[in-house]
Amino acid sequence: MNSVEQVGIIGLGLVGKALASRFLDAGAVVAGYDIDPAARAVARAMGVVVDDDPRDVARQCSTLLLSLPNPAVIRDVLWGEQGIASACRHDSLILDTSTTDPADTVEHHERLDGIGIKYVDACLVGASDAIARGEAVVLVGDTEASASYLSSLRVISGALYFLGSPGAGNRAKLAVNLVLGLNRLVLAEGLSFGVKAGLDPAQLLQILKSSAAYSKVMENKGDRMLNANFEPVARISQHAKDVDLIIAAAEYCGARVPLTHLHAEILSDAIAAGWGELDNSAVIKTYTERG
Instruction: Encode 107-123: b = buried (16+ Cβ within 10 Å), e = exposed.
Output: bbbeebeeeebbbbbbb
User: Does residue 68 contact residue 74 with C-beta atoms inside 8 Å?
Assistant: yes
Provide mean pLDDT across the span 71-96: 96
Torsion, Cα 15 223 138 276, to 10 degrees, reads -40
Q: Quick one: DSSP state of residue 152?
A: H
- Percentage of the chain lying above the pLDDT 70 cut: 99
pLDDT confidence band for 147 (50 / 70 / 90): confident
User: Does residue 104 contact residue 96 with C-beta atoms inside 8 Å?
Assistant: no
Distance, CA of 101 to CA of 253 (rounded, Å) = 13
Main-chain phi, psi angles of 145, to 5 degrees = -60, -30
Whether the pLDDT of residue 275 is over 60: the answer is yes
User: Does residue 173 contact residue 136 with C-beta atoms inside 8 Å?
Assistant: no
Distance, CA of 61 to CA of 29 (rounded, Å) = 10
pLDDT confidence band for 3 (50 / 70 / 90): low
Distance, CA of 135 to CA of 128 (rounded, Å) = 10
What mean pLDDT, rounded, does the chain reach? Answer: 96
Q: Quick one: DSSP state of residue 70?
A: S
User: Does residue 95 contact residue 125 with C-beta atoms inside 8 Å?
Assistant: no
**What pLDDT was estimated at residue 145?**
84
User: Does residue 157 contact residue 151 with C-beta atoms inside 8 Å?
Assistant: no
Residue type present at position 100: T
**What pLDDT was estimated at residue 93?**
97
Distance, CA of 63 to CA of 8 (rounded, Å) = 6
Neighbours of 126 (CB within 10 A): 24
Residue type present at position 42: V
Distance, CA of 3 to CA of 9 (rounded, Å) = 17
Distance, CA of 273 to CA of 44 (rounded, Å) = 33
Main-chain phi, psi angles of 272, to 5 degrees = -60, -30
Provide mean pLDDT across the span 40-57: 97
Whether the pLDDT of residue 1 is over 60: the answer is no
CB-side exposure of 198: number of CA atoms within 13 Å? 0
pLDDT digits (tens, 9 = 90+) for 226-264: 999 999 999 999 999 999 999 999 999 999 999 999 999
User: Does residue 34 contact residue 11 with C-beta atoms inside 8 Å?
Assistant: yes
Distance, CA of 138 to CA of 155 (rounded, Å) = 11
**What pLDDT was estimated at residue 237?**
97
Helices (H), the chain: 14-25, 37-46, 54-60, 71-79, 102-113, 128-132, 150-156, 168-196, 201-210, 217-227, 236-253, 258-272, 285-288
Provide mean pLDDT across the span 17-35: 97
**What pLDDT was estimated at residue 146?**
82
Tallying the residues shown for the chain, one arrives at: 291
Which domains occur in the chain, in start order?
6-165 (3.40.50.720), 171-288 (1.10.1040.10)
**What pLDDT was estimated at residue 4?**
73
Whether the pLDDT of residue 163 is over 80: the answer is yes
Distance, CA of 31 to CA of 28 (rounded, Å) = 10
pTM: 0.94
